[in-house]
Amino acid sequence: MQEHDEGASTLSTVTPATIKNAFTEIMNDEAAHVTFFQKALTQAKASPRPKPTFKGLAQANQRDFATMSRTLENTGIAAFLMAMPAISNQDYTAAAASILTIEARHAGFVDFLLGQPLSENGAFDKAASHAEIITAVSPFIESLNGGPDPADELNNDIVILNFALLLEYLEAEFYGINVPNLFK
């Protein structure tokens, strides 16, 4: 009986080291997503958008960081769900689906840390409109640095991949700034 109780308490305890490791993993995943989209665009003989200049990403404490992480991860899920039906290349669709599952794992972890349901939408995640995604991320974009306008119609795979790259740049920058500073 005691062994069972110890196991239960072990499962219910999330240590600071576990949280740091998880956010480091998320940071590395987002950087890998950026690399994937850059490579996919290059292989498609298209230019990957330049990295935008972002603003307002540094967070003062772990709680604010986790709250913004939740927002960005759930926005990412909604964006992938919105864009996936418009992708025509099956390889890109499969890659987007794979990235979507990772984004959902990130969101579930952060939702758990904040005491929220694992999915903010219950048993079925929901796509957001293109306009809703732009509204969510625009406050953090200082300059597109000559890259395509994220409001461009998502009418072909190259535009969609560059839109996804914008979102991944944002997440990678957010984690790259905050994880090393808040989880020492």
**pLDDT tens digits for 160-184?**
999 999 999 999 999 999 999 999 8
Mean pLDDT calculated for residue range 9-29: 88
Instruction: Parse the chain into domains and list their residue ranges.
Output: 20-182
What was the pLDDT predicted at 40? 95
Give the DSSP letter string of the chain.
Answer: -HHHHHHHHHHT---HHHHHHHHHHHHHHHHHHHHHHHHHHHHTT-PPPPPPEE-S---SSHHHHHHHHHHHHHHHHHHHHHHGGG---HHHHHHHHHHHHHHHHHHHHHHHHTT--SSTTTTS--PPPHHHHHHHHGGGEEE-TTPPPTTS---SHHHHHHHHHHHHHHHHHHHHHHHHHH--
Per-residue model confidence as pLDDT tens digits over 79-135: 999 999 999 999 999 999 999 999 999 999 999 999 999 998 889 999 999 999 999
Q: What pTM does this model have?
A: 0.92
Q: Would you say how long the chain is, in residues?
A: 184
